[in-house]
Structure 1
Amino acid sequence: MLNIKPRLRELLKERGLTQGQLSEMTGVAQASISRFDKNEQHLDWHLFSIAKALDISIEALFKIEE
């Protein structure tokens, strides 16, 4: 079974960004970014917007363990 967890906190820290700044970059509400970071909700267009803003693949947004 795969264990999948968001890496958003780590990615933002590496880039010196806040969730609020990412919200401005993506048009995704900061509350939605927080829910993604807490692994509560992952809307597809949010994932694409966040990955594009961070210039990474969607897979890179997650830590995947088998």
Structure 2
Amino acid sequence: MTVKEAAAYIKRHPQTVLHLLHTEQIVGFQASGRNGEWRIHRDDLDNYLRRPAARSKRQLRSV
């Protein structure tokens, strides 16, 4: 998936997805070197969503 597609999938802003990639909270790779477009596998996004840290503080308080 592209960053835009991944953002829609996890219901976050594309800038948030880029931040998650740069901080290695989700796994992805850049096609064509350093300035290439990011590619993210759906399974890696699913793994990110399953982690408790991926939940917002609001969701954790309501549990």
Shorter-chain TM-score: what band? 0.3 to 0.5
After TM superposition, the score normalised by the length of structure 1 is: 0.37
Q: Which has the higher strand share?
A: 1
Q: TM-score, normalised by structure 2?
A: 0.38
Report which of the two structures shows the higher radius of gyration computed on alpha carbons.
Answer: 2
